[in-house]
Structure 1
Amino acid sequence: MIELDGVGRVFRSRSGEVEALRAIDLTVADGEFLAVIGRSGCGKSTLLRLVAGLLTPTAGRVTVGGTPIAGPRPDIALMFQRPALLPWRSVLGNVLLPLELRGRVRPEHRERAQSLLDAAGLAGFHRRLPHELSGGMQQRVALCRALIQRPSVLLMDEPFSALDALTREELAGQLQQVHMEMRPTTIFVTHSIQEAVLLADRVAVLSSRPGRVQRIITVDIPRPRSFGRNAHLTDVAARVAELTDLLHATDAALPLLDTKPI
């Protein structure tokens, strides 16, 4: 579904060059949930923006569904670290915005937006303005806005990082349900090893800048997953511990690729 073939990205300015990514080879299967983790500055967000069509690679190519990415596409939704809601629009109006920008809001779209909001725990808040909501509620609105067009690809750039721990876990649980029901092909950038283990089918670990794929690890744990007391708690804890050790290791100690389940 998503393929990055020898992808590199260099940022150039008057002060010099910064090589953010180098020789990224990565495939994300249709309906797969891939988490991307790595140290700060390793190019995780740059990778996401390349897939979204907001940046162009300086080497290699990015394709989605076999078509090269040449710019933003309606079947690719991007959710940022901050909800970026328009403060003068209602919750419902913010969710419908992508459709309005394409000039095609119909009654069934409004019904879908309302259903998404209700499923996200926002029944009764459709007419509220963003400043009347908590941070977690605002991110739920942003998730509904990303899903309103039924995207085949969902890109998420640390969407829960500004939230408290309990709210993050609640939203991670909701995202699990969304993925199990809708099956969008998802790339989820995070600094949180716990989030990666809770959500992903596989975790791609990037090296320090320039970012390269150092290891891809399969997380073979039945869903739904949680940190609460359940049959898979030991497995979740073991994966978190292994990924923590992996990120603490030096880049030189990491093998180029390891796809075995852990």
Structure 2
Amino acid sequence: MIQLRGVSKEFAHRRGSVEALHGIDLEAADGEFVAVVGRSGCGKSTLLRLIAGLVPPTRGEVLMRGRAVTGPRPDCAVLFQRPALLPWRSVLDNVLLPAEIAGERRNGSRERALGLISTMGLDGFQRRLPHELSGGMQQRVALCRSLMRRPRVLLMDEPFSALDALTRDELCAELQRTHREHPSTVVLVTHSVDEAVLLADRVVVLTPRPGRIRTVLDITLPRPRTRTEAGQAEQLARRAAELHAMLLDSES
């Protein structure tokens, strides 16, 4: 589904250039959930923007379904750290926005939007405005909006980092269920090792800048995963400890 071949990215500055990523070779299979972790400034968000077609690579190529990514694609949705909801539009109208932009029929789109809203536990809030919702609820709306057009690829840039721990756990559970029901290829950028282990099939560890792939860790634990069940919690903690060790080793 997604392929990066020898991808490097440099940004020009007045005093020269800064290399954010160097020689990235990575693949994500159809329906796979991949998490990317690393220290601040290692190029995680840049990697996501390259896949989304928001910035071009300096060297190498990014492919999606065998075709070069040259700009944003309609089958790829991006969920950022902040929900970025339109403040004058209701929950329902925010979720409907991608369908409206695509010129899709209102009745069928409305039915799908209401189904997503219900799936995310937002029944009764369809007509509320964003300022009337908590941060976690706003991010649920943003996730509904991202899934509205059934994207083949969902790119997530630290979507839960601004939320409290309990809300993050709730949204991680929702995301696992949503991915089972709508199996898009997901690439998640996160600072949270625990979040990566909980959600991903594979975790990519980047080195400090310029970001290179330090290692890729397979997470073969059964789904759904939860930190509240004793047996699973122990296994998740063990894999998280392995990841922490890899991150520390990448600094040496």
Whole-Å separation in 2 of the counterparts to 1:180 and 1:113: 18
> How high is the TM-score relative to the length of structure 2?
0.98
Residue 143 (structure 1) aligns with: 143
C-alpha distance after superposition, 1:187-237 (max 9, x if no partner): 000000010000000000000000011100000100111110243222111
Residue 260 (structure 1) aligns with: none
Is 1:184 aligned with 2:184?
A: yes
Q: Sequence identity of aligned pairs in percent?
A: 61
- Identify which range, 160-169 or 98-107, moves more after superposition: 98-107
Residue 89 (structure 2) aligns with: 89
Residue 107 (structure 1) aligns with: 107
Give the Å deviation of 1:106.
2.5
C-alpha distance after superposition, 1:128-148 (max 9, x if no partner): 000000000000000000000
Is 1:128 aligned with 2:128?
A: yes
Residue 232 (structure 2) aligns with: 232
Give the Å deviation of 1:251.
4.2
1:22 partner amino acid: H
Residue 241 (structure 1) aligns with: 241
Give the Å deviation of 1:101.
1.4
C-alpha distance after superposition, 1:135-182 (max 9, x if no partner): 000000000000000000000000000000000010001000011111
> 1:62-73 alignment to 2 at 5 Å?
62-73=62-73
Residue 153 (structure 1) aligns with: 153
Q: What is the CA RMSD across the aligned residues, in angstroms?
A: 0.9
C-alpha distance after superposition, 1:17-56 (max 9, x if no partner): 1100000000001100000000000000000000001000
- Asked whether the equivalents of residues 208 and 250 of structure 2 are also in contact (C-alpha less than 8 Å), the reply is no
Structure 2: runs of 5 or more not aligned: none
Residue 171 (structure 1) aligns with: 171
Whole-Å separation in 2 of the counterparts to 1:140 and 1:35: 19
- Asked whether the equivalents of residues 75 and 150 of structure 2 are also in contact (C-alpha less than 8 Å), the reply is yes
> 1:19-30 alignment to 2 at 5 Å?
19-30=19-30
Q: Which 4+ stretches in 1 moved above 3 angstroms?
A: none
Whole-Å separation in 2 of the counterparts to 1:232 and 1:104: 43
- Identify which range, 108-117 or 13-22, moves more after superposition: 13-22
1:39 partner amino acid: R
Q: Secondary structure at the match of 1:111?
A: helix
Whole-Å separation in 1 of the counterparts to 2:230 and 2:116: 28
> How high is the TM-score relative to the length of structure 1?
0.94
Whole-Å separation in 1 of the counterparts to 2:11 and 2:48: 15
Is 1:193 aligned with 2:193?
A: yes
Whole-Å separation in 1 of the counterparts to 2:15 and 2:81: 28
Whole-Å separation in 1 of the counterparts to 2:159 and 2:95: 16
Give the Å deviation of 1:241.
1.0
Give the Å deviation of 1:13.
2.2
Whole-Å separation in 2 of the counterparts to 1:60 and 1:241: 33
Aligned residues: 252
2:149 partner amino acid: Q
Whole-Å separation in 2 of the counterparts to 1:100 and 1:18: 39
- Asked whether the equivalents of residues 96 and 105 of structure 1 are also in contact (C-alpha less than 8 Å), the reply is no
Residue 6 (structure 2) aligns with: 6
Q: Secondary structure at the match of 1:146?
A: helix
Residue 256 (structure 1) aligns with: none
Whole-Å separation in 2 of the counterparts to 1:140 and 1:89: 15
Give the Å deviation of 1:248.
1.5
